[in-house]
Amino acid sequence: MSIKGVIFDLDGVIVSTDEFHYQGWQRLADQENIFFDRAMNDRLRGVSRMESLDIILEKAKKNYSLDEKMRLAETKNDIYRDLLKKISPNDILPGVVSLLKELKEKNIKVAIGSSSRNSPTILAQIGLGAYFDATADGNDIKKSKPDPEVFLLAASRLGLKPAACLVVEDAQAGVQAGLAGGMKVLAVGAAANDPDATFSAPDMSHVSVEQLLNC
Ligand code: B16
Ligand code: MG
C-alpha cells in the first residue's frame, strides 16, 4: 500500500526538547541523590513521564510512595516547562519545515504522534500548531510507546489505515510502536541505527519526499 500519511514523533524529531527532558531528570535525580547519566536518559526517549520516573527510581536507595512519586514527576515537569519557555521556531530540527511543505504540496496528510503531555505547548511555541491535520499525544492515550496506541489513534484521526502511514521516530520504543501498529518506520537521530526500522537517516534534511513515499 502506498504512503498517504506521515506521523511524526515530536521530541527529538520535530524539535530537540530531548535535551530539556534530560536536564529536568538530571536535576531531579541530583536532588534525590540518585545516580543518573545520559546513557540512562536514552532509555527514557518516547517513554511516558511516570514510566520514565520508574526507570530513574530503579537506582534509588529508598522506596517511594505513589504520592511521593507524583510530587517528583511534578517537580521534573516544572523544571522541564521552565526550560521549554526558551524554545522558538529556531529550534525546529533541520529539514523538518521544508519536508512538511513538500508533503502538503503532494496532498499527503501529516500528524503528530507523541508521548508528551506537553505537546500542545511545544507545537504552539515553535509555531507549527496549525500545520498538522491531526495530533495524538500523551493526553489522549493509556499505554505509552512501545504500545502502538498513540500512532493508531493518529492514523484514525487522519482517516487512514495503519498500512498507509509512515512513522518518523527517534526512539527505539517509538520504532517498535510504529511497527507494532503495522506502519512503516523512518528512524532518525538517536534511533538512526535501529536495524528494525524500515529505513534510517541522521535527520530529516537527509530525506527526500520521494524516499518517504516509496519506502
Ligand atoms: P511529558 P515523544 C516523549 O515525547 C519524550 O521522548 C519522553 O522523553 C517523555 O518522557 C515523554 O514524551 C513524556 O513527556 O513529560 O512532556 O508528558 O518523543 O513521544 O514526542
Ligand atoms: Mg521522540
Helices and strands: H and E segment counts in the chain: 9, 6
CA of 12 to the centre of ligand 1 (A): 9
Task: Report how far residue 28's alpha carbon sits from residue 22's, in angstroms, rounded to the nearest whole number.
Answer: 10
Same domain, yes or no: 96 and 65: no
Separation CA 22–CA 12 (nearest Å): 12
Query: How far, in Å, CA of 173 to CA of 193, rounded?
Result: 13
DSSP per residue, 23-50:
HHHHHHHHHTT----HHHHHTTTT--HH
- Ion ligand 2: residues, CB within 5 A, are 9, 11-12, 46, 170-171
Q: pTM (2 decimals)?
A: 0.94
Do 77 and 36 reside in the same domain of the chain? yes
Ligand 1 centre distance from Cα of residue 1 (Å)? 30
| Whole-number Å distance between alpha carbons of 151 and 163 | 11
Map grid coordinates 510504529 to a residue: 178
- Over the chain, what is the mean pLDDT? 95
What is the pLDDT confidence band of residue 130, given thresholds at 50, 70 and 90? confident
The residue from 30, 62, 84 where one domain ends is: 84
- Going by CA atoms, what residue is nearest to atom 16 of ligand 1? 116
189 neighbors 12 (Cβ within 8 angstroms): yes
Domain end position, chosen among 84, 112, 141: 84
Which candidate, 140, 143, 154, 148, places its Cα nearest to that of 50? 143
Domain around 173? 5-16+89-213
The Cα 71–Cα 190 span in angstroms is: 29
Give the domain CATH number at 77: 1.10.150.240
Nearest CA to ligand 1 atom 13: 116
Residue 76 has a pLDDT of: 98
pLDDT value of residue 12: 93
* 95: confidence class by pLDDT, cuts 50, 70, 90: very high
160 alpha carbon – ligand 2 mean position (Å): 22
User: Can you tell me the mean pLDDT for 37-53?
Assistant: 93
Residues 111 and 80 in one domain: no
